[in-house]
Copies of this chain bind each other. A is one copy, B any other.
Amino acid sequence: MRTHIPDATVARLPVYLRCLSMRAGTGTCSSQDLARTAGVNSAQVRKDLSFLDAQGVRGVGYDVDELRLEIRKALGLTHEFPIVIAGAGDLGRALANYGGFREWGFSVGAILDVDARKIGSRIGDSVVESMDDLEAIVAERNIEIGIVATPAIHAQTAAERLVGAGVRSILNFAPTVISVEAAEIRRVDLSTELQILAYHLQERSGN
């Protein structure tokens, strides 16, 4: 039986998981520790974690390894998710080589490009394949998540092809907005955190 977890909590669970990963093997962790690292208050942490099976002990905290497992279970990260990356330019290559994916059960199922000069080249453990083979690859390898890492002008077309091939969730790294029916799309804007840093920098300069 799965509990529905509110979206705002779902968005914070990966943050808690990241905090806990830094503490793997250290025993216990308090809601205050998690709150400080995640930038929320500890009542919020306790409320978020109340959706999981994890039980904190008053005055002691949560068992780190147990809480990691419960969060991974809640997020559905206990099985492997192969992903397909559309675009083998700098960004696609960087994502294919990114060390932070495997830890959470994501593996590069395929990286594709339309450019014949890139097809066949090796990136980490993968070999760039042709976008022409997208449909067959997605079906054979049972891929449900796609990453758009094309130039902005090709992002919409790439997303439509991914969804046409059966991909159900798309993460868009291209600096543009894409819109496709029948798939969930999330966008990563690499400049968002820079904007926050710039604000804090200016505020400190003003003081």
- Within A83-124, which residues are at the interface with B (CB < 8 Å)? 83, 89-91, 93-95, 97-101, 103-106
Q: Which of B4, B18, B77 contacts A198 (CB 8 A)?
A: B77
Tell me which residues across on chain B come within 8 A of A191, comparing CB atoms.
14, 98, 100-101, 103-104, 106
Return A94 CB to nearest CB of chain B, in Å. 4
Closest to A175 in B: B100
Interface size class for chain A?
A: 35 or more
Shortest CB-to-CB span from A153 to chain B, Å, is 10
Number of copies: 2
Of the candidates B169, B189, B197, the one whose C-beta lies within 8 Å of that of A200 is B169
- Chain B's closest residue to A8 (CB) is B39
- Contacts A76-B198, A100-B175 given; 11 further ones with Cβ under 8 A? A2-B203, A14-B192, A75-B202, A93-B94, A98-B175, A101-B190, A103-B175, A103-B191, A145-B201, A168-B201, A184-B201
- The 4 tightest CB contacts between A and B, nearest first, are A76-B202, A100-B175, A90-B94, A91-B94
